[in-house]
Structure 1
Amino acid sequence: MWDLEVAGGLIGSLRPSDVPPGRDAHAVVLPGLVDLHTHLREPGGEEAETLASGARAAAAGGFTDVFAMANTSPVTDTAERVRALRARADGLPVRVHPVGAATTGLAGTALVDVPALAAAGVTVFSDDGRCVDDAGLVRDLLTAMARHGTVFAQHAQSASIVRDGVVNDAVAGRLGVPGWPAAGEEAVIGRDLALAAATGGRLHLCHVSTAGAVALLRSAKRDGLPVTAEVTPHHLVLTDGHAAAEGPALKVNPPLRTARDVAAVRAALLDGTIDVVATDHAPHPARAKSGSWRSAAFGLTSLETALPVVAEVFTDPGTGAVDWSAVSRVTSFAPAAAGGIAATAGRPVTAGGPATFCVVQPLPWRAAPAAWHSRSANSPFHGRRFAHRVTATVLAGHPTHLLPTPGAVRPEPVR
């Protein structure tokens, strides 16, 4: 066990505790979590989420940094809108990093002014929610990424293959709705990996969901291509069988896949082929998720449950021990590096280092909408029982989330 003291926004000391080991010895301190993929909805979608409510949800989940996707209204596609978003987010309990749109208005027809947005501090460009389907545009975009040291995060979804699909192909027939083929994801990934090789531009693959996509990614990494990838918590633990059983509440883009796909993305996360767990937190008001498979909105919320899902994935089934170093890698170190903010986020918990961290305890709890800090309750984990919970989050020495728990917390730091 260790005692941790904070002074002036830094970890003043980190020393072994003289308190005998007990229940609290199983608590850990992790570096502040970093989410590469968050939809905060503001401006324009405040019914579903605001910057303030999304930030509270993020802090409750252990996050200190979130990348806010550009599909707001208006779209974050100019330097002025980047600066406006930063001003709106000032003083929130998380640091908000605006993602710049890849194409003007997310229309997929003309690139944004990459130099201007990069000069305004944008490190990640994405049309997430829509695929940049034009190969020539992607080539130009990756060329610009190489020039400016930025990254393009692609939502891999070929419109000509996916068409009006709403659920994974394997279960679509018995549900009587259009299917969503895995090839719609894999075709775009294969093309974009070739373009990354040709241009040297950094490519990040959003929400990888299929075994075929994992195979392409593994081959690209063996070849040394400049590519990183993420998987969402829901694609790690839920299948198209859950979607078929529970209905449009689990409609998400890309869709939940087969058990074989889930096994493949889990294995890829465990062996480092997939670098990052990103939430793809996509809040919607209840009415938007209550329609049919064809009419309900795509998207699930995940900020407040991501950490316990990841801990579950990295739990040794034989011993019950969690590999907290690996959890830190995929939720903090790797996303900070991929997003270009490693100088200020994803830093180890060490004496003299920034006091930006979260505390996790082995507190069994059941996820429930009444407890959400988010404005929206479209979580795929209602009623799910978890073994670990974030009990405190600290950003630059300031507590941003505290969950009252019995007894003193003397956590074990994870370096």
Structure 2
Amino acid sequence: MTEKYLIKNVSILGQDTADILIDAGKIVQIGTALTADDAQIIEAQGLIALPGLVDLHTHLREPGQEDSETVESGTQAAALGGYTAVFAMANSQPVADTAGVVEQVYELGKKAGWAQVYPVGAVTIGLQGERLSAIGAMADSRAQVRVFSDDGMCVWDPALMRRALEYVKTFDGVIAQHAQEPRLTEGAQMNEGKVSAELGLAGWPAVAEESIIARDVLLAEHVNSRVHICHLSTRGAVEIVRWAKSRGVQVTAEATPHHLLLTEELVRSYDPVYKVNPPLRTEEDVMALRQAVADGTIDIIGTDHAPHPIESKDCEWACAANGMTGLEQALSIVQKTLVDTGLIGWERVAEIMSFRPAHIGRAVEQGRPIAVGEPAHIVLYDPQATRVINPAEQATRGKNNPYRGLELPGAVRATFFAGHPTVLDGALATPRVQPAEGNSL
């Protein structure tokens, strides 16, 4: 049965109000006072229509860590956050370093049907930083991997990083680097600075991030390949990326929602929910990141959604795992830190949370404009709503949410994945039955 929906009176990208008619997975008409007798009407007065969000940095944990998250639960959380596509990081168990594992993740995403899943391949075997993984086989697999990352670990060997950059260049891939010089962060527990000194916790210095970024942009320039900087977190890192872009280096960068909002001062509570890698930084760093998103130095928002089982966080600070969840609140954090502060408008939100991440990941079916003939990947968002965050009410299995108890602006009211509503009235609806072959519409 063909699905047909008529979205009425919605503000497209926060601009003009119009109606959007969806039929058979595509946008077939945009206008005013549209009618369609056989369509389900979605009244969207006061809502903003954005293109389906794309997260270049999600940890879905499956296979092997299903106590933390599954592809099913993680993509349900994605849909509730307005996402129609996520890139699943490689640090599963087994690591996604072969064609077999990335194809497994790809098929799990298709079967779940809540969002499109693009597997990220590991750069090195087992994330060990010693030998390159089966990059070519993953690129040629059914998953057609184009993003490779050892995220959670840094590709610290410069010769190995150079070879990886040269390899992915042959098929227009990209290396997404977790910038952390390991020798400078041994035993690190939080951002290095005044607060770490007061608390007596080993510091994670900004230079450990910045030195790797400086090295890698120079390597990318040398071999004329693409490098993407994961979860950029310091003012100095912003300046390096800005300098590299001025030279024409093919570098892109992301900031996480938590690094746009939270600071190292929260570590004074010793609550492990605030333990993350890279660590929460200073207020000065937070302000620099916000400005860098506004001026385009930082290209995208990547959630770094990192769910953990309760026992990995409900313990002493030193023993706790790094990571935070955030798929279901990312758009609200962007509204709070960037839109409501006047730094960007909703058109820029579409750029940093949909168009650009899809382009960086070469996800040609995603990050599409809201226009006639385009796939109907659409999120309907209420910027006037408010909500208090309760991790127990979320779809993700990981309850390690740093925003718990906070009142945040905005709420996703509906998510359309290829014309099918995965979220309606702010709640999960039904998954989309995907085609038998491929991720195409």
List per-residue Cα deviations over 1:366-388 (Å, max 9, x = no partner): 11112200011111101111221
Cα separation, 2, equivalents of 1:25 and 1:175: 50
List per-residue Cα deviations over 1:222-244 (Å, max 9, x = no partner): 11101000000000011101222
**Percent identity of paired positions between Structure 1 and Structure 2:** 45
Aligned position for 2:229: 205
Amino acid corresponding to residue 336 of structure 2 in structure 1: E
Aligned position for 2:301: 277
Amino acid corresponding to residue 363 of structure 1 in structure 2: A
Aligned position for 2:115: 94
Residues 144 and 201 in structure 1, CA contact (< 8 A), matched pair in contact too: no
Cα separation, 2, equivalents of 1:243 and 1:393: 35
Residues 102 and 121 in structure 2, CA contact (< 8 A), matched pair in contact too: yes
Residues 90 and 121 in structure 2, CA contact (< 8 A), matched pair in contact too: yes
Residues 142 and 202 in structure 1, CA contact (< 8 A), matched pair in contact too: yes
Residues 270 and 317 in structure 2, CA contact (< 8 A), matched pair in contact too: no
The DSSP-based 3-state class of the residue aligned with 1:363 is strand
Find the partner of 1:325 among 342, 347, 361: 347
- For residue 245 of structure 1, report the CA deviation from its aligned partner: 3.2
Find the partner of 2:277 among 248, 253, 257: 253
Tell me the TM-score normalized by structure 1: 0.93
Aligned position for 2:8: none
List per-residue Cα deviations over 1:345-366 (Å, max 9, x = no partner): 0000112211111100121111
Aligned position for 2:154: 131
Cα separation, 1, equivalents of 2:69 and 2:327: 12
Cα separation, 2, equivalents of 1:316 and 1:372: 24
Cα separation, 2, equivalents of 1:401 and 1:347: 19
Residues 273 and 400 in structure 2, CA contact (< 8 A), matched pair in contact too: yes
1:11 aligns with 2:35: no
Aligned position for 2:136: 115
Residues 364 and 386 in structure 1, CA contact (< 8 A), matched pair in contact too: yes
Cα separation, 2, equivalents of 1:203 and 1:389: 33
1:340 aligns with 2:362: yes
Cα separation, 2, equivalents of 1:177 and 1:392: 43
Tell which has more relative contact order, 1 or 2 (C-alpha 8 A, sep 6+). Answer: 1
Cα separation, 1, equivalents of 2:266 and 2:295: 26
1:387 aligns with 2:384: no
- For residue 403 of structure 1, report the CA deviation from its aligned partner: 2.6
Aligned position for 1:353: 374
Tell me the TM-score normalized by structure 2: 0.88
Amino acid corresponding to residue 294 of structure 1 in structure 2: A
List per-residue Cα deviations over 1:89-119 (Å, max 9, x = no partner): 2232111100000001111000012221111
- For residue 316 of structure 1, report the CA deviation from its aligned partner: 4.7
Residues 53 and 83 in structure 2, CA contact (< 8 A), matched pair in contact too: yes
1:398 aligns with 2:420: yes
- For residue 311 of structure 1, report the CA deviation from its aligned partner: 1.5
Q: CA RMSD in A?
A: 1.7
Aligned position for 2:174: 151
1:192 aligns with 2:208: no
Alignment of 1:146-185 (within 5 A): 146-170=169-193, 171-185=195-209
Which stretch of the first structure deviates more once superposed, 391-400 or 363-372? Answer: 363-372
The DSSP-based 3-state class of the residue aligned with 2:84 is strand
Query: Could you say if the C-alpha distance between residues 83 and 316 of structure 1 is closer, same or farther in structure 2, counting changes exceeding 3 Å?
Result: closer
Cα separation, 2, equivalents of 1:246 and 1:17: 55
5+ residue gaps in structure 2?
A: 1-16, 36-42, 428-441
Cα separation, 1, equivalents of 2:297 and 2:248: 12
The DSSP-based 3-state class of the residue aligned with 1:215 is helix
